[in-house]
Amino acid sequence: MLRLNRLRRILKDYGLTVESTGRGKHPFKVRGKVFGTDRQHTYPLKVHGKNPEISKSYLRGIVEEFNLPRDVFEKKRER
């Protein structure tokens, strides 16, 4: 699981943004180009609150929909 603010910081490196729709079942969405293509895409996030946790199933969905590296959300260990 990952907090929304951390998700925003990670996705920014890939040119993706997390936008607030402010309403409905999916108040947030990830928007941007699919990695390695010019195709625009959005992916809805069904989470509520100021800094909610994003479940692993949504993280997997983001990776698949935007063609991101599989380990993009794993914590980087400093040596």
Does residue 14 lie in a domain region?
A: yes
**pLDDT at residue number 77:** 43
The pLDDT, as a whole number, for residue 25 is 74
Q: What is the residue range of 33's domain? A: 2-66
Q: Based on the structure, what is the number of domains in the chain? A: 1
The pTM assigned to this predicted structure is: 0.83
Query: Looking at residue 21, what is its pLDDT?
Result: 81
Q: Is 72 a member of any domain?
A: no
In a domain, 58, yes or no: yes
Whether residue 48 is predicted with pLDDT greater than 80 in this model: the reply is no
Token pair in block for residue 9? 């910081």
> Is residue 34 assigned to a domain?
yes
Is residue 37 classed exposed, middle or buried when 0-12, 13-18 and 19+ CB atoms within 10 A define those classes?
exposed
Which whole number is the average pLDDT over 31-60?
A: 89
**Residue 78 placed within a domain:** no
Nearest Cα neighbor of 20 from 41, 47, 2, 39 is 47
